[in-house]
Homo-oligomer: A and B are copies of this chain.
Amino acid sequence: MTIKLANLREQLKATTRQELTRIGLDLFLLHGFANTTIDQIVAPLGISKRTFFRYFKTKEDLVFEWQTQMAPALVLELNARPREEAPFKAVSETLFSLLTRINENPELAFALMRLLKETPSLAGRDMENRMVWEQALTDALMEREGSKVMPRLKARIIVGMAMTAWTSALDEWYAGGGNTRLRPLMEKAFALIKEQE
């Protein structure tokens, strides 16, 4: 995930952006999302509130940086799956690849989920982003299989089922305090989908 830094300007921009997300998330997790003002976020960096909005369109965007970058990455992942793999299997494996990301820093993932759960507006944005994922994966799946054998409704449903497993397992993990291992839960969830009579 390294970004090419053309020049000094880009470097500064990148670090500022990074610092803003770091400080912002810290403050959100500490005092809550609504109780944190933009002024509080920019103060430590000594930049103006106006500048903040040149980095992020909204306060919420700061929380979802990683998530919005995810959709294209998922599509790449899906396209990289072997051609002969069954549709549901391919989509499932694609989502499984996200697991490694979470396992890199489970505490952060858990903290973020807490933030989402206790801030309804953020939960809404979260759902909205998942819809973007679903949309992207649906399109990619149709592309992959050809819209003859895989009409939109069917693709949507296959993707939706995989996402259901993903979401259910993640929620279950969160409900358990984030202590249980996530992978076995995921596997169980995906297995439950398949055995559905």
Tally of this chain's copies: 2
CA A124 – CA B123 in complex, angstroms?
Answer: 8
Task: Give the residues in chain B near A59, CB-CB below 8 Å.
Answer: none
Chain B residue with the shortest CB-CB distance to A165: B157
Q: Are B153 and A168 in contact (CB under 8 A)?
A: yes
Determine the interface band of chain A, counting residues with CB < 8 A from chain B. Answer: 35 or more
CA A171 – CA B188 in complex, angstroms?
Answer: 29
Q: Are A153 and B131 in contact (CB under 8 A)?
A: no
- Of A42-50, A141-149, A189-197, the segment with at least 4 beta carbons within 8 Å of chain B is A189-197
Q: Are B172 and A168 in contact (CB under 8 A)?
A: no
> Does A74 lie at the interface of the complex (its beta carbon under 8 Å from any beta carbon of B)?
no
Task: Give the residues in chain B near A183, CB-CB below 8 Å.
Answer: none
Q: Mask for A121-135, Cβ within 8 A of B = 1, else 0?
A: 101111110110000
User: How distant is A11 from chain B, measured CB to nearest CB, in Å?
Assistant: 31
**A-B residue pairs in contact (CB < 8 Å), sample of 13:** A123-B128, A124-B126, A124-B127, A126-B127, A127-B128, A152-B175, A153-B185, A153-B188, A156-B172, A157-B165, A157-B196, A160-B161, A160-B167
Could you list which residues of chain A lie within 8 angstroms of chain B, going by C-beta atoms? 86, 88, 120-121, 123-128, 130-131, 152-154, 156-158, 160-161, 163-165, 167-169, 171-172, 175, 185, 188-189, 192-194, 196-197
